[in-house]
Structure 1
Amino acid sequence: MSKSKKIMMWIAGIVAVIAIVLVGSGMYFFHVAEVRAPKAFINNASVKKNNPTYIYDATFNKQHKEIWYQTTPDGLKLEAWYVANPKPTNKTVVIAHGFAGNKNKMAMYGQMFLNLGYNVLIPDDRAAGQSQGNLIGFGWTDRKDYVRWINQIVQKNPQVQIAMFGVSMGGATTMMTAGEKLPNNVKVFIEDCGYDTVKNEINFQAQSMYHLPLVPRFPLVDIVSGISKVRAGYSYGEASSIKQLHKNHLPMMFIHGGADKFVPTEMVYKNYAATQGPKELWVLPGVGHAMSFEKNPVMYASKVQSFLDRYFH
């Protein structure tokens, strides 16, 4: 065998090993990111009594909840809680939860909106809580599910006025839903600490959580995105809050912690710039990820109410 042929075989072997390592790593990180399973890096501790939001959480947990369902076009049965306000109203808010969360985790926000005079619908996303599914949608597949939840509300009450609200991944879900065709009953959106694109968020987490340098982070994120396209039906680049916001002309409020180290604060400015309707931005200095409500529940509720009151009658 000639020397040049040996070199070519040696190079081919190295390339094959690198490819195997990258694909194997891609499958691992896809499982971490998208496959339904407990996520060790997510805090799922219950709200403690000394937490300012505890009373909201505890009060909502005592509310009577109707169980609503929908079946998705791909055959998944999804579940949601509906809580009617004690004072009859045509105002309803739809609440979207965060990554590896569920409707239980949004109880404090549910009570906040009940206090503000709204009915509340809180779904479990696909692959979360009591809903079926094994692959997390990062808001992108979920946006279509939320359109169906909204349509279900309208079918039950054609006079309803609807707001949508979400935190973290739920914030991104809210922004992604805003770019869809929606009934005129939908009046406003409020998002708290949602990311701009799934690709940017995954890339940030690969650097933040695993300290991966640009190489191999650059090909690895694209490999995981390709696996997602095959298995979940979407790539990380197409799953974009910004792209959806370019199609939104309804009012939207953006909330973000100024010291967010999970969804970088810089993302909210890109989202804010992208939306095409009336908008408001509230960045809380020194506040971490999804901590804005806990930091000052009374002020948070007041800010939200002030925004909603401009568009609801």
Structure 2
Amino acid sequence: MRKKALFISSIVATVTTISGIILSNKLMYIKQKDHDFILERETKAQRFDEAWFNSVTKVELSIASPNGYDIKGYFFKPLATKNTMIICHGVTENKLNSTKYARMFERLGFNTVVYDHRRHGDSGGKTTSYGYYEKIDLQAVVHFIRGLIGEEATLGIHGESMGAATTLLYAGIIEDQADFYISDCAFSDFKQLLYAIVKSSISIELKWAVHLTDLFMRLRDGYWTKNIVPKDAVKNIEKPVLFIHNLHDTFIPCAMTIDLYKAKEGPKMLRLFEKGDHAQAFNEDPIKYEATVREFLDQYVPHTLLYTS
């Protein structure tokens, strides 16, 4: 009987360990969407205007990351202004997906920077870290762009999904140096998100795989999942934050953004969208999305629309 129990225990331990290895591999080396797929999707949905992209004044960016690779992107300059937005895309996407926001912010009076996160698009980097190393890259982008536009210009950061979490981690842990932030469908706690994913896609019996995944990611990529908690970081952000989420998000629960909003002190706004799944608020209702951003700017950053030199 004892041998049978030991045998079963060893099987469970082995299965759990293998599950942890598999999950850590999936997280660190998550499959990206193909560039041509994103281009076709965005073009077909009329969110990517090829004629505008080819004609707009733009500068190709190659920014050295402290993490040891180059960050690639574009600085779109359709307007005679130094006001600038930095756009952070979600996991598996690339800078092409961010271009739809560039057109919106152009209408709101901003030039725009879009760039590829580490291990995405044209940027370097071996792994995806869900904001841990990405926040350091964002700091490098902010410093580079500040050097171009000057301290007097208004600088905002917009993040979608992982890009939103990265934005909040940057502002709350490294430096609160932008003038405002927009967080669209961020997670509040990466480990809690992993629990939810494991529970829904594998089984609740394999919850210990999350603990082992945490250990493997620490050993293999240098951080614990407890280091990726935007809900803690947001408490340190003094600048205004607009929180956006889709009510029916089936990937990152809307409750996570509500938690972020509650944790943030000082100037903030929350807007929940009825239509669409994860990070689909703009795609489903771009007019309402733009009106929401405009309302936020008018209330908390009104001077952004006045600076045009």
TM-score of the aligned structures, taking structure 1 as reference length? 0.87
1:44, 1:83 → 2: CA distance?
19
Tell me, yes or no, if the aligned pair for 2:190 and 2:228 is still in contact at 8 Å.
yes
CA–CA distance in 1 between the matches of 2:33 and 2:137? 23
2:11 aligns with one of 6, 13, 17: 17
- What per-residue deviation string (whole Å, max 9, x for no partner) do you get for residues 139-183 of structure 1? 121111111111111112223221000111111112112203436
Q: Does 1:306 align with 2:299?
A: no
Q: SS of the counterpart of 1:109?
A: helix
* Aligned residues of 1:57 and 1:111 also touching (Cα < 8 A): no
Aligned partner of 2:154 in structure 1 is 161
State the secondary structure of the residue aligned to 2:93.
coil
116, 119, 135: which one aligns with 1:127 = 119
User: Contact 1:102–1:128 (CA<8 Å) still a contact in 2?
Assistant: yes
Question: Who is 2:307 aligned against?
Answer: none
Alignment counterpart, residue 114 of structure 1, candidates 94, 97, 106? 106
Partner of 1:239: 228
Q: Within 5 A, what are the aligned runs for 1:228-307?
A: 228-307=217-296
Which letter does structure 1 place at the counterpart of 2:203? Answer: P
Shift, 1:66, TM fit: 1.4
- Whether the aligned pair in 1 keeps the contact of 2:187 and 2:193 (CA below 8 Å) is yes
Name the stretch that deviates more: 292-301 or 91-100: 292-301
Q: Give the alignment partner of residue 60 of structure 2, picking from 54, 67, 75.
A: 67
**8 A contact 1:35–1:135 mirrored in 2:** yes
Contact 2:275/2:281 (8 A) holds in 1: no
Give per-residue Cα distances to partners, 1:232-269, cap 9 Å, x unaligned: 22222220110110111110001111111111111111
1:182 to 155, 175, 178: 175
Q: 1:243 to 1:129 in 2, by over 3 A?
A: same
Any runs of at least 4 consecutive aligned residues in structure 1 with deviations exceeding 6 A, and if so which? none
**Structure 1 residues 104 and 45, CA gap change in structure 2 (3 angstroms):** closer
Counterpart of 2:163 in structure 1 is 170
Report the counterpart of residue 100 of structure 1 in structure 2.
92
Larger radius of gyration: 1
Q: Provide the residue aligned with 2:21 in structure 1.
A: 27
Q: Partners of 2:51 and 2:286 in 1: how far apart?
A: 14
Gaps (5+ residues) in structure 2?
304-309
Structure 1 unmatched ranges of 5 or more: 1-6
Quick one: distance in 2 between partners of 1:55 and 1:14? Answer: 54
Return the alpha-carbon distance in structure 1 between the equivalents of residues 84 and 2 of structure 2: 66
Residues 39, 111 of structure 1: alpha-carbon distance in 2 compared, 3 angstrom cutoff = closer
Give the Cα–Cα distance (whole angstroms) in 2 for the partners of residues 141 and 17 of structure 1: 35
How far apart are residue 80 of structure 1 and its match?
1.7
SS in 1 for 2:129: coil
Counterpart residue type for residue 82 of structure 1: F
Q: C-alpha separation between the residues in 1 aligned to 2:66 and 2:222?
A: 13
C-alpha RMSD over aligned residues: 2.2
8 Å contact kept, 2:42–2:48: no
Q: In structure 2, do the counterparts of structure 1 residues 13 and 123 end up closer, same or farther at CA, with 3 Å as the change threshold?
A: same
Kindly indicate which of the two structures has a greater share of residues assigned to helix: 2
Contact 2:67 2:133 in 1 (8 A): no
Which whole-Å deviations, capped at 9, do the CAs of 1:255-307 have from their partners, x for residues lacking one? 11111111111111101011122110000124321111122212211211221
Q: TM-score, normalised by structure 2?
A: 0.88
Which amino acid is 1:31 matched to? N
Q: Could you tell me how far apart the structure 2 residues matched to 1:133 and 1:19 are?
A: 32
**Aligned pairs, how many?**
298
Q: Which whole-Å CA distance do the structure 2 matches of 1:58 and 1:197 have between them?
A: 37
Q: Specify whether residues 57 and 180 from structure 1 end up closer, same or farther in structure 2 by C-alpha distance, changes over 3 A only.
A: farther
| Residue 127 of structure 1: how far off its partner (Å) | 0.8
What is the aligned counterpart of 2:131 among 120, 125, 139? 139
- In structure 2, how many angstroms separate the alpha carbons of the residues matched to 1:46 and 1:69? 25
What is the deviation of 1:222?
Answer: 1.3
Distance of aligned partners of 1:138 and 1:55 in 2 relative to their CA distance in 1, 3 Å threshold: closer
Q: Give the percent of matched residue pairs that are identical in Structure 1 and Structure 2.
A: 25
User: What is the alpha-carbon distance in structure 2 between the residues aligned to residue 49 and residue 124 of structure 1?
Assistant: 19
